[in-house]
């Protein structure tokens, strides 16, 4: 196996699903500038997710409507100048 193939900066990171406020703590080497205080009182780096297994239609069995019209209007208003 090749040496130094995998990153060595693994640490505990909180991933938070912003659509339903579900959060979980796991090891990762992702870079982030935000932090959050976890249930154990320690502060961990925070990664915000748009969707996770608690909000994905495949796992929940429910369809979720996404406000694409609002996103398109926001994009057009931003770049119409």
Q: Which residue has the tokens 């040496």?
A: 3
Give pLDDT, residue 80.
Answer: 77
pTM for this entry:
0.65
Give pLDDT, residue 58.
Answer: 57
Domain residue limits, the chain: 11-79
61: left (phi over 0), alpha (psi -120 to 50) or beta: left
What is the chain's alpha carbon radius of gyration, rounded to the nearest angstrom? 18
Cβ–Cβ under 8 Å, residues 31 and 17: no
pLDDT digits (tens, 9 = 90+) for 12-54: 999 998 878 889 999 999 999 999 999 999 999 999 987 776 7
- Sheet of strand 11-17: strand arrangement: 22-28, 11-17, 43-49, 35-37
Confidence of residue 71 (pLDDT cuts 50, 70, 90): confident
């Amino acid at each position: 196996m090749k040496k130094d193939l995998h990153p060595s900066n693994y640490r505990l990171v909180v991933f938070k699903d912003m659509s339903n406020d579900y959060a979980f703590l796991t090891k990762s080497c992702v870079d982030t500038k935000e932090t959050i205080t976890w249930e154990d009182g320690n502060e961990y780096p925070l990664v915000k997710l748009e969707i996770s297994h608690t909000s994905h239609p495949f796992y929940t069995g429910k369809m979720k409507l996404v406000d694409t019209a609002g996103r398109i209007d926001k994009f057009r208003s931003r770049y119409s100048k």
